[in-house]
Amino acid sequence: MSTDVDFIIVGGGLAGSILALELIERGASVLIFDKPMEGAASPIAAGLANPVSGKRLVYEPELEQKQTALKLFARKLEQLSGQNVLSEILQTRFLNDQQVSELKTRQLEISNSAYVQAKSEKVLTIENTLRLDIPKTCRLIGNILEAKHSRSETHFDYNDLTLTRESVQWQEINAKKVVFCEGWRASQNPWFGELPFNLNKGQVLKLDHPNLEPSLKNWGHWELQTGTERWLGATTERGYQHLNPDAEGRITLLESLASMQTAQAGGQISEQQPQVLELKVLELKVLEQRAGIRPATIDRKPFVGIHPKYPQMGIFNGFGGKGSMLIPLAASAFANQLLRNQDCQHQAHLDQLFSI
């Protein structure tokens, strides 16, 4: 393990992993600490980079720039590892009545897009939906860092960190800077924990009977067929009481899928027909259930930059439920800020939050 490095990175989820790769690519040395811990988001994320998202079906701002960065990153990782982590997937989006009427008032926006097609009043297909295999991405980058002796599966204890004049020391390791990428656990970080996080828990289910053909159905919840696996997700739980999967999450997801399947078959699920729903739910066999915490922020903007008081410390976090879409572009910009002093648009946001 290296003892003198340019950067210590705390957390090897998607954020820390991609940032580490960007820094190494620019000639810096890093040491990443990643201890698998409860509630991590990256091991369970579906990895969808959706051009149109949310209840209101809003187009992702700067979509082209973000997707280009994602594709460039995936190509780079493929060159380094010989493995593919990015795929395009056809998304079928089912709308409810409220969304239908809302979209009618925004007709222009939808018909202007080359990749959103209306199949019927309540069904759209959305091309250009990308899927980054996040667990595989983290694993591959972990292997690359491991081979360079730049990764440690040690818990990074904040109490062991000493700030020196222009650098940091953690136990026997010296570094120019430490960058925190701990996902939701940053809310417990002594220097960045006060930032306005809006953490929420998500649960997913792995179901039996996968299709060979990859596909994505989205009706607020989603069913993702990867070609080998079938996943159903995801809950969005604010004010959660614990980090574990639970019966409530499982029932919410199964009932939602059963209800969507019945509606799709032309039926109506109503209060008077709970037995129909129950039968549908019984048909679904759950192979696995998992939970993680999305490191979301109140204003939905990530926390990226250098601490205004402690220039030896940075943060790269707050990517919420959009890590695939946001992290590659942000990592490239932040690496350029750290190593080349280039302006990064996120720093002003961070400075502003600390000045409040």
Q: Give the binding site for ligand FAD (CB under 6 A).
A: 10-16, 33-37, 40-42, 44-49, 134, 155-156, 181-185, 202, 204, 233-234, 292, 294-295, 317, 319-325
Closest CA relative to residue 289, chosen from 233, 228, 221, 217: 233
Is residue 119 within 8 A of residue 125, CB to CB? The reply is: yes
Which tokens belong to 6? 């340019």
| Distance of closest approach, residue 50 Cβ to ligand FAD, in angstroms | 7
The C-alpha atoms of residue 4 and residue 23 are separated, in whole angstroms, by: 15
Concatenated DSSP letters for 98-122? HHHHHHHHTHHHHHT-SSEEEEETT
Is residue 315 within 8 A of residue 339, CB to CB? The reply is: no
| Distance of closest approach, residue 265 Cβ to ligand FAD, in angstroms | 26
CB nearer to ligand FAD: give 217 or 322. Answer: 322
| Distance of closest approach, residue 161 Cβ to ligand FAD, in angstroms | 10
CB nearer to ligand FAD: give 105 or 228. Answer: 228
Would you tell me how many other CB atoms lie within 10 Å of the CB of residue 322? 19
The C-alpha atoms of residue 95 and residue 34 are separated, in whole angstroms, by: 40
| Distance of closest approach, residue 110 Cβ to ligand FAD, in angstroms | 22
The C-alpha atoms of residue 59 and residue 222 are separated, in whole angstroms, by: 18
CB nearer to ligand FAD: give 47 or 103. Answer: 47
CB nearer to ligand FAD: give 172 or 271. Answer: 172
CB nearer to ligand FAD: give 49 or 329. Answer: 49
| Distance of closest approach, residue 323 Cβ to ligand FAD, in angstroms | 3
| Distance of closest approach, residue 27 Cβ to ligand FAD, in angstroms | 23
The C-alpha atoms of residue 2 and residue 8 are separated, in whole angstroms, by: 10
The C-alpha atoms of residue 238 and residue 334 are separated, in whole angstroms, by: 29
The C-alpha atoms of residue 78 and residue 199 are separated, in whole angstroms, by: 32
| Distance of closest approach, residue 167 Cβ to ligand FAD, in angstroms | 20
CB nearer to ligand FAD: give 56 or 104. Answer: 56
Q: What is the largest CA-CA distance in the chain?
A: 69
CB nearer to ligand FAD: give 181 or 344. Answer: 181
Q: Is 300 helix (H, G, I), strand (E, B) or coil?
A: coil
